[in-house]
Structure 1
Amino acid sequence: MIRRAGLFGGTLGVALVASSSWPIVQGALAKDHGVMGQTWAIAEPDLLATIDTRLKTLQANGGIERMQTALREKTEERVRNPIPVAGIGAVRESRSWTFDPTIVLDQDIQDQKGRLVARAGQRVNPLSFVAMKTDFVFIDGRDDAQVDWALKRWTAQNAKIIFVAGSPFNRMGEKKRRFFFDQQGKLTSHFGIARVPAVVEPAGQVLKISEIEMSGAGA
């Protein structure tokens, strides 16, 4: 009881002191100390108003139209002339190997009626279900010799000719044949192709991949 009374008494004492001194403190805070230094008015321009003004200026002097034209031309140039796949050179010596396309499923596969086709963790070879009907022929589209070599050996029905460099669009107009491009080198990287010309063709349940030295292939 003594401890509680002392605690309460101390608390009450502090409260009384604070209460009695409040007018003094309040008066001290209200005192005018004059100007302590130079002051400036707060001036923060409206961001949206600034953007709107700049857009109107660009529109008035034709800046927006020029930007749109430049972007359109840059995009068209990149589509017509893709960046060459990095690290791909010309074949110096022929070599070939097999590639197993088998994958391990990370989830169950069901058909449209919900029936289980394959379980997660199961190994599946796509060639067991889907036949590969065309070869993939990878070439440097800038090299006339490689382009002519591929066109002589494969028709549009039995192969897809895929560029790792050069413009498929320019060649299509020249050769009257459809060409493709290995965007970001995803296919050559997947198959382990480092040099061209190279061919990927079905061989039973695996794929045969060949990097072909043209002088030894009757080019």
Structure 2
Amino acid sequence: MTALIKKYQPKDLQRLPAATENKKFLVDLTYTLNRNIPDGQGGILYPKGYSFNPLDYVNLSSILVVIDGSDRRQVEWFKDSPYADDFRCRLLLSGGDFYDLIMDLGRPAFYLSAEIADRLKLAAVPSVVVQQGNKMLVQEILVPDKETQKESTGEDK
């Protein structure tokens, strides 16, 4: 049973390539209803076509960090980052064995689904996602090869 748990990967796991440059962009989470939402009393609470941005109503204090757990450079980058010790960080994996990574890092990790990757417009890893106003700020971070010895803070120069 433990072997099955160790090797589990969901069918909708979204694999992403390694970032080739540091990049930042904003994502608008505004959603438009594709059907009527009933009010439970025979009426319509929200009509089809109604648009709303959930970030107009909630503040997300968590930080999403997405890495490929099978890429040792990205795992080491995460360990050396300020996010590794930040209780607000939610670690998402676009690859690798979550069980081994959980044991190695001593923290929970979850697999990245295609739905989340699509909604947040994630295209490369590692990525750090935080709320900025009523949008989500996505930072793709270049983790260089050790030979190049470039800094990989995630900040644009």
TM-score range for the pair, normalised by the shorter chain length = 0.7 to 0.9
- Kindly provide the CA deviation profile for residues 176-204 of structure 1, in whole angstroms up to 9, marking residues without a partner as x: 11111113x33223322221111111010
In proportion to residue count, which structure has more helix? 1
CA shift, 1:168, in A, is 1.0
1:143 aligns with one of 71, 78, 81: 71
Map 1:35-74; keep pairs closer than 5 Å: none
Structure 1 residues 118 and 128, CA, compared in 2 at 3 Å: closer, same or farther? farther
Note the aligned Cα RMSD (angstroms): 2.9
- Kindly provide the CA deviation profile for residues 150-177 of structure 1, in whole angstroms up to 9, marking residues without a partner as x: 2432135221111101011111112211
Q: In 1, Cα distance between the equivalents of 2:48 and 2:109?
A: 37
Partners of 2:36 and 2:44 within 8 A in 1: no
Report the counterpart of residue 194 of structure 1 in structure 2: 123
TM-score for both structures, normalised by structure 2: 0.75
Report the counterpart of residue 173 of structure 1 in structure 2: 103
Structure 1 residues 127 and 180, CA, compared in 2 at 3 Å: closer, same or farther? same
Partners of 2:67 and 2:93 within 8 A in 1: yes
**Larger RCO, structures 1/2 (Cα 8 Å, 6+ apart):** 2
Partners of 1:136 and 1:162 within 8 A in 2: yes
Partners of 1:156 and 1:177 within 8 A in 2: no
Q: In 2, Cα distance between the equivalents of 1:157 and 1:113?
A: 42
Q: In 1, Cα distance between the equivalents of 2:121 and 2:78?
A: 20
2:90 aligns with one of 152, 160, 170: 160
Aligned pair count reads 144
Q: In 2, Cα distance between the equivalents of 1:74 and 1:173?
A: 14
| Sequence identity percentage | 22
Q: In 1, Cα distance between the equivalents of 2:2 and 2:48?
A: 47
Greater than 3 Å deviation, 4+ residue runs: 72-78, 81-86, 112-120
TM-score for both structures, normalised by structure 1: 0.56
Structure 1 residues 77 and 157, CA, compared in 2 at 3 Å: closer, same or farther? closer
Confirm or deny that 1:129 pairs with 2:57. Answer: yes
Query: Which one has the largest radius of gyration?
Result: 1
Structure 1 residues 73 and 160, CA, compared in 2 at 3 Å: closer, same or farther? closer
